[in-house]
Amino acid sequence: MAVYHLKTPISEEEIRKLKVNDVLYITGTIVTARDQAHRRALEYLKEGKPLPINLEGLAVFHCGPVVAKEGVKWVAVAAGPTTSTRMDLFEDEFIKNFKVRVVIGKGGMGKRTTDAMAKYGAVYGAFTGGAAILAAKAIKNVRGVEWLDLGTPEALWIFEVEGFGPLTVAIDSHGNNLFLDVAKNVEENRKKIYQKLGLPL
Amino acid sequence: MKAEIVENAAFNLIKQAVIYLPEDVKQSLKKAYEEETSEAGKTQLKAILDNIELAEKYQAPICQDTGTIIFYIRAGAEVKDLDKVEGALVNATRRATKEIPLRPNAVDPFTQKNSGDNTGRFIPYINWEIVPGDTLELTVMTKGGGSENVCLTGMLVPGEGVNGLKKFVIESIIKAGAQPCPPTIVGVAMGGGADIAMKLAKKALLRPLNEPNPNPEIAKLEKELYEAANMTGIGPMGLGGKTTVLGVHVEYAYRHPASFPAAVAFNCWAARRAAARIHADGTVEYLTHKGKV
C-alpha cells in the first residue's frame, strides 16, 4: 500500500501508477455529479454542446452536499459520498469523453466502469460513507455551481480542495476491482459460515 | 407535563444524537480499528474515527444524511397531558431542522415534494408504550436512509425453525454488502407477524452494544450470528476486512403455528440515538449524553 498526494489536473501517467489498496489524497478541483448531472452531461455531448466546466484531469464526486449561503458565498457544510452503483449506467461514457481521472464515491462500481477505467486511465477512490465533516473540512472554497436548476443535491458543485481523502483506490486502471474481489471472497466464505452455523448448503 | 419541557428535551436529544455517537458505539469502532488487519478496512475505520472527532469539535452532524426522526416513548400512566406530547415532538423536529441544521428528509411519496422541515404524515414517527409511574422516557433514533434500504422481512418456513432464521440473517447481510455503510449494527426479530417482527428488529438497534439479550439462549444466538457475520469478509465500507458488524441484537415474539416471520434491520456505523427521562417535577435527566446539551 502506497500513499499518493496528487494535484489536479492529473495526468494519465500519474493515474497508471496507482494500484488497488493505495491511499490517495487530492488537492485541486473536484466536481460533484449525481444521476441527473451525468445524464445531462451526456445529453450535451450528443448535442455537441460544451460542458460548463472542462473536466479533463479532474475528479468527479458522487455527492449531494448540504450547502449554505453565507452572504453571496456558498459554503459546503457536509459533503459525504452517495452510492456509486447508480452512476454505473453513465460512467464509462463519462470517463471516455470528458477524460475524468478520478471517480469518488462509496459502495464501488461494476465491470463496465472497471473496463472503461482500464482503457482510458482512471481510478475509483472510495471515500468513507458518512464521513461528511471530514470531507467538508477538506473543501477550502466553493468555486462555483452549475445546473442549479436540478436542485442543490443534483447540481454540479465545483469545489477547491486540499488533501481531500483518504480515498482508497478500489478500482485501478489495470482492471483490478477491490469490491469485486471482496464479493468473490464472500462467496467462498459463505460455505464456512454455513458449516459453522450447522446449516445445509 | 408541560409541552414546552418535552419540546426542549426532544430538541436537545436530536442535537445530541446527530453530533455525538453514543459511547458504546464509539468504543466498539475504536476496538474494530485496533483489531482490523485489512489495509483498506483500517483506512476506512480511521476516517470514521477522525470524522466522529471532527463532528464533536465543530458541533456539526456526523453524516450529511441526518436521517428520519423516530421517537420511542415509555410514558408513565400517571403523566398528565399525554395528548400534547406529539405536537411537542413535531415542534422540536422543526426547530432542530432549522437550528442544527438537519437535512430535510421527509418527502411525500405521491407528489415527491419535500416538506422541508422533516415532518409530514406519520413523520416524525412515534412509538408509544404505557408503563407504571409518573415519568416520561423519551428516546430518539435518527435513522439513515442507506441502511434502511437493505432492511428485509421474510416469512420463513416454520419447519426449518431457528436454522431458517440464521440462514435468512446471513443472506441478508451478504446481500446488503457495502450499501448500509458497514460496520453496521444488525437488529433481528422472529415471530409476531410481518409488522411486529420489523418493529422489534428496529427497536433492537437501540440496545447498547455491550448488553446481550437477557435470555441466555437468545444471547447465545446473538453471539453466533455476530461471529458468522464477521466471517463474511465484507469489512468496513465493504472494502474487505474483519469487521462487518459491531453487534447483532435478537428479539422475538410468539408466532402463529403456520407462520415464521423474520426481520432484519440495519443501522449504519453512525448509529445515532439519545434518551432522556422527564420527571414529574419537570426536571430532565439525560441518559445517554450526560453533560452534552
Q: Is the pLDDT reported for residue A152 higher than 80?
A: yes
Q: Are A63 and A82 in contact (CB under 8 A)?
A: yes
Distance (Å, rounded) from C-alpha B120 to C-alpha B253?
31
Q: Do B174 and A186 touch (CB under 8 A)?
A: yes
Q: What are the chain B neighbours of A128 within 8 Å (beta carbons)?
A: 44, 47-48, 51, 237
Interface size A-B, in CB pairs within 8 Å, comes to 138
Q: Which of B265, B291, B261, B266 lies closest to B276, judged by CA?
A: B291
State the residue range of the domain holding A8.
3-196
Instruction: Classify residue A85 by its DSSP letter.
Output: G
The pLDDT of residue A154? 87
Q: Do B61 and A78 touch (CB under 8 A)?
A: yes
Q: What are the chain B neighbours of A197 within 8 Å (beta carbons)?
A: 163, 166-167, 170, 224, 228
- A163 reaches B (C-beta below 8 A): no
Domain count, chain A: 1
**Which residues, 6 or more positions from B18, have their beta carbon under 8 angstroms from its beta carbon?**
B61, B62, B66, B67, B100, B102, B142, B272
Write phi, then psi, for B100 (nearest 5 degrees): -75, -45
Q: Do A133 and B62 touch (CB under 8 A)?
A: yes
Distance from CA of B211 to the nearest CA of A (A): 22
CATH number at residue A111: 3.20.130.10
* Among candidates A21, A134, A199 on the partner chain, residue whose Cβ is nearest the Cβ of B47: A134
Nearest CA in chain B to A152: B103
Is A138 part of a structural domain of the chain? yes
Beta-sheet pairing, A73-78 with B136-143: unpaired
Q: What are the chain B neighbours of A126 within 8 Å (beta carbons)?
A: 40, 44, 237, 239
Q: Do B179 and A185 touch (CB under 8 A)?
A: no
Q: Which of A133, A176, A179, A187 to mutate to test the interface with B (most CBs of B within 10 A)?
A: A133
* Among candidates A137, A179, A196 on the partner chain, residue whose Cβ is nearest the Cβ of B228: A196
Nearest CA in chain A to B98: A68
pLDDT tens-digit profile, chain B (293 residues): 899 999 999 999 999 999 999 999 999 999 999 999 999 999 999 999 999 999 999 999 999 899 999 999 999 999 999 999 999 999 999 999 999 989 889 999 999 888 999 999 999 999 999 999 999 999 999 999 999 999 999 999 999 999 999 999 999 999 999 999 999 999 999 999 999 999 999 999 999 999 999 999 999 999 999 999 999 999 999 999 999 999 999 999 999 999 999 999 999 999 999 999 999 999 999 999 987 76
Type of residue numbered A49:
K
Q: Which of B23, B22, B103, B28 lies closest to B67, judged by CA?
A: B103
- Residues of A serving a catalytic function are 38
Angstrom CA distances, A109 to A91, A105, A171, stand at 9, 9, 8
Distance from CA of A189 to the nearest CA of B (A): 6
Angstrom CA distances, A26 to A4, A64, B144, stand at 8, 19, 28
- A142 reaches B (C-beta below 8 A): no
Beta-sheet pairing, A73-78 with A66-70: antiparallel
Q: Do A168 and B239 touch (CB under 8 A)?
A: yes
- A69 reaches B (C-beta below 8 A): no
Peptide bond into B22 cis (omega under 30): no
Is A201 part of a structural domain of the chain? no
Is A42 part of a structural domain of the chain? yes
The pLDDT of residue B292? 78
Q: Do B63 and A132 touch (CB under 8 A)?
A: yes
Nearest CA in chain A to B103: A66
Distance (Å, rounded) from C-alpha A85 to C-alpha A98?
19
- Tens of pLDDT, residues A120-132: 999 999 999 999 9
Q: What is the pTM of this model?
A: 0.93
Q: Which of B36, B42, B64 to mutate to test the interface with A (most CBs of A within 10 A)?
A: B64
Q: Which of A103, A48, A174, A189 lies closest to B170, judged by CA?
A: A189
Radius of gyration, alpha carbons of chain B: 19
Q: List beta partners, residue A68.
A: A75
| Residue in the structure block whose three cell numbers are 415519568 | B135
Buried b (16+ CB within 10 A) or exposed e, B170-189: bebbbebbbbbbbbbbbbbb
Nearest CA in chain A to B241: A182
* Among candidates A66, A78, A178 on the partner chain, residue whose Cβ is nearest the Cβ of B239: A178
